[in-house]
């Protein structure tokens, strides 16, 4: 039913956050006895509310980000960066798959988690792990030294 909304408003969509007002005439009461305030699929709802332009912007953005992250992950030689990349990419894939079956990114905590994982993944995979940027209290290089580690920490963790 939600795809029909997108087909009826292909260039402008119905308008962002208008699903609960636009959806009732499109629903099939025999199949769906309830009136929903949101689609259970973030991608379909984006198409219905934003039309083809928003759907294309989202699809192209996801493809570019995925290409950059995967290419950077594949090219890394550092084992710890490779392992971190697996964690970041797995988390992003899980959130994106969940969005296909639920209104996952409409929940603020999930949206914040998604943006945080994307930011961390870009920082580690694309821009690299090159110490801190700018002046710090850890000397001119900005790197931590063994004197910064508390004495109670076992040597194998240092």
Q: Please write the tens of the pLDDT for every residue from 37-49.
A: 888 889 999 999 9
Q: Contact 38/106 with Cβ under 8 angstroms? A: yes
pLDDT at 90: 95
A 10 A CB-CB count for 12 gives 12
Give the dihedral sign, CA 125/131/132/134: negative
Both structure tokens of 143: 């790197």
Instruction: Name the nearest CA neighbour of 58 among 90, 13, 20.
Output: 13
Low-confidence spans in the chain with pLDDT less than 70? 129-158
Residue showing tokens 């392992």: 83
pTM of the model: 0.71
Both structure tokens of 18: 């208008």
Both structure tokens of 68: 């950059």
Please state, in angstroms and rounded to a whole number, the distance separating the CA atoms of residues 97 and 42: 10
**What's the 3-state SS for 88-151?**
HHHHHHHHHHHHHHCCHHHCHHHHHHHHHHHHHHHHHHHCCCCCCCCCCCCCCCCCCCHHHCCC
Please state, in angstroms and rounded to a whole number, the distance separating the CA atoms of residues 21 and 26: 10
Q: Please write the tens of the pLDDT for every residue from 112-143.
A: 999 999 999 999 988 876 554 444 444 445 55
Give the H/E segment covering residue 17: none
């Amino acid at each position: 039913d939600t795809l029909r909304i997108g087909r009826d408003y292909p260039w402008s969509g119905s308008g962002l956050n208008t699903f609960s007002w636009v959806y009732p005439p499109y629903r099939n009461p025999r199949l769906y006895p309830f009136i929903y305030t949101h689609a259970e699929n973030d991608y379909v709802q984006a198409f219905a509310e934003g039309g083809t332009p928003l759907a294309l912007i989202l699809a192209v953005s996801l493809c570019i980000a995925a290409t950059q992250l995967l290419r950077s992950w594949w090219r890394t030689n550092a084992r710890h960066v490779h392992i971190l990349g697996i964690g970041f990419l797995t988390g992003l894939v899980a959130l994106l798959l969940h969005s296909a079956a639920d209104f996952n990114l409409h929940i603020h905590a999930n949206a914040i988690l998604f943006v945080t994982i994307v930011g961390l993944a870009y920082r580690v995979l694309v821009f690299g792990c090159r110490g801190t940027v700018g002046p710090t209290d850890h000397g001119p290089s900005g790197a931590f030294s063994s004197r910064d580690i508390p004495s109670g920490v076992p040597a194998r963790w240092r």
